[in-house]
Structure 1
Amino acid sequence: MAHHLLVRLRQSLITLVLVSLVVFAGVRALPGDPALALAGEERSPKALAAVRHAYGLDDNIAVQYWRFLSHAVTGDLGTSSRTGQPVTHAIAQALPVTLELAALALLLAVVLGIGAGVVAAVRKGRPAEWFANALALLGLSIPSFWLGIVSVLLFAIAVPVFAASGFVPFGSDPLDNLRRMVLPAIVLGAGLAAVVMRQTRAAMLDSLSADYVRTARAKGLARRQVVGGHALRNSLVTVVTVLGLQLGHLISGAVVTEQIFVLPGFGKLTLDAVFTRDYAVLQGVVLCTSTAYILINLVVDVVYSLIDPRIRIGADR
């Protein structure tokens, strides 16, 4: 297990270095000169040169990248050219909002997706399966931005059950926090729940037709033990794979959802940085998001080994 984990850590570190290079190059490939935005109305050649020198934009690209990487390793992501605050401070303010939104959406997707997938597989050919498939098809077909707008109109304006916008920290007022976060979480997690449901159903159907399940039934095990202890356990590898792959889309989809519900998370921070050519903030946000995605995949690999030891044994050979 230790060797398996060390191999995954080494691969993750190499990937992270490559990601930092792509992030650095991609941000600088954006059209426009950030010095023009920073200089304001005073755009004389002397002022532009002073701005480029102050932010290190006149250095060689390799020097800029090395400075960015060496500072990022120590936790220094630079200073925002728009607000003058450290990038880590801006990220620390926006990160809890996005993390809570993603966590609630993931919880919704896991509970509804796995539950509906198991029911659809066990009740194959019955109305329960048709209903679950219909809901999954709706979740996959409806765009999140349209679902968000309709949800606000229905459940925040017509029937004011939830708040339409804004954010209140959970520690300040838990009930008001949930009033503002449950609806965005449903909008964000609907598509993921549909994907999880379809994959769970397919994996469960394969497991329920396997020899070991027929053997368990022949031994007289209860239906709950056969479905939960044998079929579902062996289907979780597929489900965990889907969750690991879809979490990246969950984080990126949060940008649209946060804009609809006016949440001060990574979405607003990213768009503000793009519009103002704030290199430091944009690099920091994308690097943090990429790091989170890499860590999620690392955790998924570890969970694989816990669910199915054969994966760990095969990786250690």
Structure 2
Amino acid sequence: MLRYTLNRLWQSALTLLLASIVVFIGIRLLPGDPATAMAGEEADPAAIAAVSERLGLDKPIPVQYLTFVGNAVQGDFGESVRTGTPVTDMIGATLPVTVQLAIYAMLVAVLAGMAFGVVAAVFRGRWPEWVANGFSLFALSVPTFWLGILAVLYLAVQLGWFPASGYVSPFDEPLRGLYYLTLPSVILGMTHAAVVQRQTRASMVDTLTADFVRTARAKGLSRSAVVFRYGLRNSLIVVTTIVGLQLGGLIAGAVVTERIFGLPGIGKLTLDSVFTRDYPVIQAVVLVITTAYIVINLVVDLLYTVIDPRVRVSGRAR
């Protein structure tokens, strides 16, 4: 257990280091110059040089990288080129919105996906499985942005069941906050629910057709006990893996959903920063999302030791 944990920790640290290098170099390969953007296109070379010196862009690339990493470790990502606001404050104001949306969407995906997956596995070859598989095919085939626009037009504007846009913090007004997040969370979580459904069904079918399950049924174990004690429990390893991978992807992929529903999350901040060439913000946002993705997957790997005792025995992931 300890060996496995230490092994995953140093692997995550190495991955984060490599990711920071990729982010740092990638931002500098983007067209345009932060100093010129900050000083203005019509600024004279002296003004641009002064801004470049203040941002540290006149120093060698290795020195810039070490400065960037040293400041990032302390939570200092510099200031926005566009507004002059500390980037840390901008991320602190927008990241909670995206995290709330991602967690809500993943909750929807897990509950709906596992429910449809269990139905499809238990009722193989019958109409409930066709319905579950039809949902999965629909959710995987329809683009999220198109489904989001339709949801706004029909469920929000015409029927008035949900607000078309806006955000209320669940910490200030819990019920109203969840109400505002429900429709975008459902839209964002549908594709991930389809993935959970398919993997849950496949895992449960393998378990329910295994020899030890046939033996349990022959000994008189009820159908519900077989389904939930053996089938669903064994599928949790697969579902945990999917949740870890998809949750990081949800945080990074909420850009379109936030744009459609007018949510002031990190996705909107990213798009605004790209359009205005606000390089310090883009650099910080990408690094924060990458770090979140790595940490989430580390936590998921450590959860294997709780869910599957074989990981504790072998000291490595399956």
Q: Structure 1 length as normaliser, TM-score?
A: 0.96
2:62 match: secondary structure: helix
Most deviating of 51-60 and 102-111: 51-60
Partners of 1:63 and 1:18 lie apart in 2 by: 17
Q: Do the aligned partners of 2:52 and 2:58 also contact (CA within 8 Å) in 1?
A: yes
Residue number in structure 1 paired with 2:62: 62
Partners of 2:287 and 2:104 lie apart in 1 by: 23
The one-letter code of the counterpart of 1:265 is: G
Is 1:206 the counterpart of 2:206 in the alignment? yes
The C-alpha deviation readout for 1:195-235, integer Å capped at 9, x for no partner, is 10011111111110111211221222222221111121112
The C-alpha deviation readout for 1:10-61, integer Å capped at 9, x for no partner, is 1111111111111111111111112221112542111111111111111111
1:130-209 to 2 correspondences below 5 Å? 130-209=130-209
Aligned length: 317
1:1-317 to 2 correspondences below 5 Å? 1-40=1-40, 42-315=42-315
2:217 match: secondary structure: helix
Partners of 2:167 and 2:243 lie apart in 1 by: 27
The one-letter code of the counterpart of 1:228 is: F
2:254 match: secondary structure: helix
Partners of 1:297 and 1:249 lie apart in 2 by: 11
Q: Do the aligned partners of 2:37 and 2:81 also contact (CA within 8 Å) in 1?
A: no
Partners of 2:166 and 2:290 lie apart in 1 by: 26
- CA apart distance, 1:173: 2.3
The one-letter code of the counterpart of 2:289 is: T
1:81 match: secondary structure: coil
Partners of 1:261 and 1:291 lie apart in 2 by: 26
- CA apart distance, 1:123: 0.7
Partners of 1:313 and 1:27 lie apart in 2 by: 43
2:170 match: secondary structure: coil
- CA apart distance, 1:315: 2.9
- CA apart distance, 1:172: 2.5
2:247 match: secondary structure: helix
Partners of 1:170 and 1:237 lie apart in 2 by: 31
Most deviating of 99-108 and 177-186: 177-186
The one-letter code of the counterpart of 2:10 is: R
The C-alpha deviation readout for 1:260-316, integer Å capped at 9, x for no partner, is 111110111111221222222111111111111001111111122211111232235
Q: Structure 2 length as normaliser, TM-score?
A: 0.96
Q: Do the aligned partners of 2:34 and 2:81 also contact (CA within 8 Å) in 1?
A: no
Give me the CA root mean square deviation: 1.4
Partners of 2:235 and 2:30 lie apart in 1 by: 43
Most deviating of 171-180 and 276-285: 171-180
Partners of 1:285 and 1:99 lie apart in 2 by: 13
Q: Do the aligned partners of 2:273 and 2:282 also contact (CA within 8 Å) in 1?
A: yes
The C-alpha deviation readout for 1:99-135, integer Å capped at 9, x for no partner, is 1100110000000001110111001111110101101
The C-alpha deviation readout for 1:142-192, integer Å capped at 9, x for no partner, is 000000000000111001111111111113322332232101001100000
Structure 1: state its 5+ residue gaps.
none
